[in-house]
Structure 1
Amino acid sequence: MNNHNLNVQGAAISEESFEQQGTRDIVFPHQLEDLAQIAVDIGGSLAKVVYFSRSPDSPGGRLNFVKFETQKIDECVDFVYKVLYDRYHGQIPVSERLLAEEHINLFRERLKVTMHKEDEMECLITGLNFLVRQITYEVFTYDERRPEPMQFEATPDELFPYLLVNIGSGVSILKVTSDETYERISGTSLGGGTLWGLLSLLTQAKSYDEMLELSKHGDNKNVDMLVGDIYGGDYPKIGLKGTAIASSFGKVFKTPAEERSKFKQEDISRSMLAHGIQRIYFSGFFIRGHPITMNTLSYAINFWSKGRVKALFLRHEGYLGAMGAFLQHVNAPHRVSRIGSFTENFSQIQKISGTSLGAVGALDEFPSSLTAFPLLEDPHTYEPDTVQMNEPELQHYWIDLLDKNLGDLVEMVLEWKADQTDTKSRASSFEAMYREHLQRLRTEPLAYGALSIRSLLNLREQCLREMGFTDIFEGVKQKENTSAMEGLATLLSKLDVLDDKEKLDVLIDNVLAGNMYDWGSTSVMEMLRKGELDFLTAKATVGRPAKFDTSKALKERLLAGPAYQKAVIFVDNSGADIVLGIIPFAKYLLSKGTKVILAANTSPSVNDITAVELAALIEKVAYFDATIRRSWADRALQVVGTGSASPCLDLHHVSVELAKACEDVDLVVVEGMGRAIHTNFYATFKVDSLKIAVFKNPQVAKTLGAEMYDAVCLFDSPGSR
């Protein structure tokens, strides 16, 4: 292997993406100092650039990914120069990792920098460990024999040991046993560079991506000798199929020289992809997410290991060395800390090449460190998504629905954000951006990882934020909060005179009625726009089918006691939902001596209440309600951010602050369609729990055996299972 790497580090920089260069972005974790950095991994075929940028509006930053053909290294140097000098005025001090004198001199002369070497293999492993741990859908398998060839792999509980086979110009095979220990157990000079060179001689393709494209249209059995050509079919005694390659280019050798021109360059390309790489799994820009390559590797690994080993591929496959070089300037403990504290943002995506499967986006850092919710019964088997989108019909339903609703969102942007700069053009860009994503997902449903209602809704929020619309429902939320607050004092007074049994009936009815006020639901949005929904109408609309209503057990538990020690309520919408539904329920628990945590989104999403907004509401309620005022003052009532900016709830990732606050909780309440139906419908907890929401989508209702506007009020106690 002959990779060479450049590291650049120094002052903070602003966030841009250089989309014209094929940039792929990943946000990097909090760093203790204000740091910007560039790493370049120069291989025999490709030069990969990773540079760090920080936005003044974000507590984290962003890693940007760019690639260049090594034969065009001047373009790479010019790009780094532009980053250093044109954008940052030469204020970034530089350290490098370069091994080839020709490249050292080139960078020195152009950039005026000082260089230092780092270990190539260590960089590869460090990069892989970071990416596998931090990115949910980083690793996948590929097998064309399956109905869905591409399947994503969860991060293993124990990452080590593993085998890393890096296919660059040559091949290195590494056995990795920990973050610090590894050994090179094998390798070969025959790799991507060999293939590229041979295909350059044998075909007219001018770039490696052209060669990959040629292979898609070819058939290697026209040039390779297969097992079936020798034995007339399969060779079952040793488990070989008749389609397995017995001799690459064997048919070319047996063909008279004057007839060899009949072999198509497309067939030659496909044969070469299958030759020499069948024992590998796998990283390096050689693979490029190319289906034929991955399927060949998967088949070979499965065959020779007798199904015991999987061929694993990475979406950021070509950037391991550059990523690792970048991480050499981050303290080792910090490389593995805050695992799971990132979400991949696909609003701006890049593909490795036109032939590749999948795409990558930015990895947005949450405002706070995240961890698994401590009260999940089994975090390893927990799956947040209720409906699995495996069928094309279901995928198209949700894509079509969100496509249809785009116009309403744009109208809302124009109505409530008309005073912002370039609102109309940015709203138009948002609409085009999200619609383009939906179109891609129609034909490539796994392009951004596993498809779910949650992922589609998150993608919409990401596109809004990318175009500068961080909270398009801000005005709606303020208006509805104000309206609901006008009736809260009267409601609380009426509840105070009821006995506990009557009070609980009203409280549960009110939570369900409040949950109808959901601008994330198409049908409800129309009612809200027309002013056709008030609290009494909402109460009358909600159905209470027995199969989704175990509230009797909850009421018996609350009435019989003892009182719960501490409850956490994952709240949902602004307006009537939080004000007339959740706050009175929280007051009831407080009056019984239960401490209450109201867990709200850290950042805006549709009309969901945020933690900051909810704290301001509680301050107002404290003025006229003694129970709320006393509880707020002595911290028996708290508002804590979940760390989320999503209309759904993934309990794999909640803020560390919330997780710590919930360690002694003995009642978990999950409220709202996005949190208790789209996600967490099947979630189980170590303690008593209540899921309470209203079905406001006909497809999800039908899937779960409900009708539109049916209520979910499911109480579960571990002791009664």
Structure 2
Amino acid sequence: MESSSPSVPFPLLQTPIESKYRACTIPYRFPEDNPRRATPIEIQWIDLFLNSVPSFKQRAENDSSVADAPERAEKFAQRYTTILEDMKKNPESHGGPPDCILLCRLREQILRELGFKDIFKKVKDEENAKAISLFESVARLNDGIEDDGKRVENLVRGILAGNIFDLGSAQLAEVFAKDGMSFLASCQNLVSRPWVIDDLDAFKLKWSKKSWKKAVIFVDNSGADVILGILPFARELLRRGTQVILAANDLPSINDVTYPELIEIIAKLKDENGQLLGVDASGLLIANSGNDLPVIDLTCVSPELAFLASDADLVMLEGMGRAIETNLYAQLKCDSIKIGMVKHPEVAQFLGGRLYDCVFKYNEVLNY
């Protein structure tokens, strides 16, 4: 069940020669490291993926769309655990040395080979329904903030709060299963600023002086993330006259929203006049990113997205996988935002921040 569409480089990515693009942010190893011996960082990250195996196994066991789901889930856990342990002994096994893209891809391949197409489908549908019911109240709350700077900060905080709904984090998956999560409480309980990377004040200043003709937003999770976080921000851009392209995954991965799911969500939120709560949404497009992982390599996107994005002047990458674990240092030809919450201690350690710290990295490109 691999994506069958061809991949092309994202047209707004600086060429590899110019920017030395490397999708993965955190270096697991360096040229001088022994290729046959796992580095301490590789072992640390392999252990992180090992710790997530029980929660993935549990989701797979409960997938009613798959015959013999418990037996297949056990096979998944055994096969993936064996691969990860192999990599500790020999990092070059199984296509290594490992990085976050390879570790994610191996996990997804095993699930798909065993017949699991979307083990998070049930929880995604439930959370999408909850978030849709709250969309109007969240959007109206933003509309009621008259000051432009305060309103955009509230919208950004909403994106970060929504990004907590991430079942790829073993700790958050456990909390979510036990208590659920409140979007408004999450907004209020974000860690205090300044965040570990905090360009929000610079962005607020540009927001008041600058308008963008077309924005591309690489979306992340289902539920509160995309519906209560990203869509109110996109709606505000539409109100300002910006065309907005939301780029979503081709295939399911963890609880990330997919292209077909996002089309369905938008259809439910638009009224009969094609508006999002009084804002013309004719400039809102949904694109298939061509991606099938919770992380993304910008040298491999769908031709559809590449065509639509070629003349965009703002790109937002959202979520820990797409904006922090990959692409944090990616150089783009236009203005860019990398935004997400730090949900792994290993990422917090690398950045020198706190667990559940926030990243808002804004880069302006002049004369684009």
Q: Give the TM-score of the pair, scaled to structure 1.
A: 0.47
Instruction: Give the match for residue 372 of structure 1.
Output: 9
Q: Any conservation in 1 of the 2:166–2:173 contact (CA below 8 Å)?
A: yes
Q: Any conservation in 1 of the 2:196–2:357 contact (CA below 8 Å)?
A: no
- Aligned counterpart in structure 1 of residue 80 of structure 2, from 434, 438, 442: 434
The structure showing larger relative contact order (alpha-carbon pairs under 8 Å, at least 6 residues apart) is 2
| Mapping for residues 566-605 of structure 1, pairs under 5 Å | 566-605=214-253
- Whether 1:619 and 2:267 are equivalent positions in the alignment is yes
The CA distance in 2 between the partners of 1:546 and 1:406, in whole Å, is 30
- Whether 1:664 and 2:301 are equivalent positions in the alignment is no
| Distance change (3 Å), C-alpha of 1:666 and 1:650 | same
The CA distance in 2 between the partners of 1:469 and 1:678, in whole Å, is 25
* Post-superposition offset of 1:631: 4.5
Q: Deviations over 1:275-307 (max 9, x none)?
A: xxxxxxxxxxxxxxxxxxxxxxxxxxxxxxxxx
Instruction: Give the match for residue 121 of structure 1.
Output: none
The CA distance in 2 between the partners of 1:467 and 1:552, in whole Å, is 48
For 1:461, give the aligned amino acid.
E
Q: Any conservation in 1 of the 2:52–2:169 contact (CA below 8 Å)?
A: no
Structure having the higher strand fraction is 1
Instruction: Give the match for residue 421 of structure 1.
Output: 67
The CA distance in 1 between the partners of 2:328 and 2:304, in whole Å, is 24
- Whether 1:398 and 2:45 are equivalent positions in the alignment is yes
Structure 2: gaps (5+ residues): 30-37
* Post-superposition offset of 1:673: 0.3
Q: Any conservation in 1 of the 2:59–2:119 contact (CA below 8 Å)?
A: yes
Q: Secondary structure of 1:713's match?
A: strand
The CA distance in 2 between the partners of 1:572 and 1:403, in whole Å, is 22
* Post-superposition offset of 1:626: 5.8
Of 697-706 and 569-578, the range deviating more from structure 2: 697-706
Of 479-488 and 490-499, the range deviating more from structure 2: 490-499
- Whether 1:534 and 2:189 are equivalent positions in the alignment is no
Instruction: Give the match for residue 407 of structure 1.
Output: 54
* Post-superposition offset of 1:422: 1.3
| Distance change (3 Å), C-alpha of 1:546 and 1:397 | closer
- Aligned counterpart in structure 1 of residue 287 of structure 2, from 640, 658, 661: 640
- Aligned counterpart in structure 2 of residue 545 of structure 1, from 152, 173, 194: 194
* Post-superposition offset of 1:596: 0.2
For 2:89, give the aligned amino acid.
T
Q: Secondary structure of 1:471's match?
A: coil
Rg bigger for which structure? 1
Instruction: Give the match for residue 247 of structure 1.
Output: none
Q: Any conservation in 2 of the 1:517–1:576 contact (CA below 8 Å)?
A: yes
Q: Secondary structure of 2:325's match?
A: coil
| Distance change (3 Å), C-alpha of 1:419 and 1:378 | closer
The CA distance in 1 between the partners of 2:51 and 2:144, in whole Å, is 47
| Distance change (3 Å), C-alpha of 1:625 and 1:617 | farther
Instruction: Give the match for residue 556 of structure 1.
Output: 205
Q: Any conservation in 2 of the 1:372–1:379 contact (CA below 8 Å)?
A: no
For 1:512, give the aligned amino acid.
L
* Post-superposition offset of 1:624: 7.7
| Mapping for residues 194-209 of structure 1, pairs under 5 Å | none
- Aligned counterpart in structure 2 of residue 521 of structure 1, from 144, 147, 169: 169
Q: Give the TM-score of the pair, scaled to structure 2.
A: 0.91
For 2:219, give the aligned amino acid.
V
Q: Any conservation in 2 of the 1:512–1:694 contact (CA below 8 Å)?
A: yes
The CA distance in 1 between the partners of 2:202 and 2:11, in whole Å, is 24
| Mapping for residues 295-334 of structure 1, pairs under 5 Å | none
Instruction: Give the match for residue 685 of structure 1.
Output: 332
Q: Deviations over 1:355-397 (max 9, x none)?
A: xxxxxxxxx5x33221001111233421000111116211112
Instruction: Give the match for residue 22 of structure 2.
Output: 383
| Distance change (3 Å), C-alpha of 1:638 and 1:517 | same
The CA distance in 2 between the partners of 1:637 and 1:608, in whole Å, is 20
The CA distance in 1 between the partners of 2:326 and 2:272, in whole Å, is 36
The CA distance in 2 between the partners of 1:493 and 1:428, in whole Å, is 46
Q: Secondary structure of 2:270's match?
A: helix
| Distance change (3 Å), C-alpha of 1:407 and 1:547 | closer
The CA distance in 2 between the partners of 1:663 and 1:559, in whole Å, is 25
Q: Any conservation in 2 of the 1:375–1:687 contact (CA below 8 Å)?
A: yes
Q: Any conservation in 2 of the 1:545–1:710 contact (CA below 8 Å)?
A: no
| Mapping for residues 150-299 of structure 1, pairs under 5 Å | none
- Whether 1:673 and 2:320 are equivalent positions in the alignment is yes
Structure having the higher helix fraction is 2
| Distance change (3 Å), C-alpha of 1:540 and 1:517 | same
* Post-superposition offset of 1:492: 1.6
Q: Any conservation in 1 of the 2:339–2:361 contact (CA below 8 Å)?
A: yes
| Distance change (3 Å), C-alpha of 1:480 and 1:532 | closer
Q: Deviations over 1:609-644 (max 9, x none)?
A: 001100100001102886438744x3x110101101
Instruction: Give the match for residue 35 of structure 2.
Output: none
For 2:91, give the aligned amino acid.
P
Instruction: Give the match for residue 186 of structure 1.
Output: none
Instruction: Give the match for residue 32 of structure 2.
Output: none
The CA distance in 2 between the partners of 1:401 and 1:708, in whole Å, is 14
For 2:258, give the aligned amino acid.
T
Instruction: Give the match for residue 81 of structure 1.
Output: none
* Ranges of 4+ aligned residues in structure 1 off by more than 6 Å: none
The CA distance in 2 between the partners of 1:422 and 1:509, in whole Å, is 42
Q: Secondary structure of 1:718's match?
A: coil
Q: Any conservation in 2 of the 1:454–1:678 contact (CA below 8 Å)?
A: no
Instruction: Give the match for residue 106 of structure 2.
Output: 459
Structure 1: gaps (5+ residues): 1-57, 59-363
Instruction: Give the match for residue 444 of structure 1.
Output: 90
Q: Secondary structure of 1:442's match?
A: helix
* Post-superposition offset of 1:554: 1.3
Q: Any conservation in 2 of the 1:458–1:647 contact (CA below 8 Å)?
A: no
Q: Secondary structure of 2:290's match?
A: coil
| Distance change (3 Å), C-alpha of 1:423 and 1:532 | closer
Q: Any conservation in 1 of the 2:314–2:334 contact (CA below 8 Å)?
A: yes
Q: Any conservation in 2 of the 1:628–1:637 contact (CA below 8 Å)?
A: no
Q: Secondary structure of 1:370's match?
A: coil
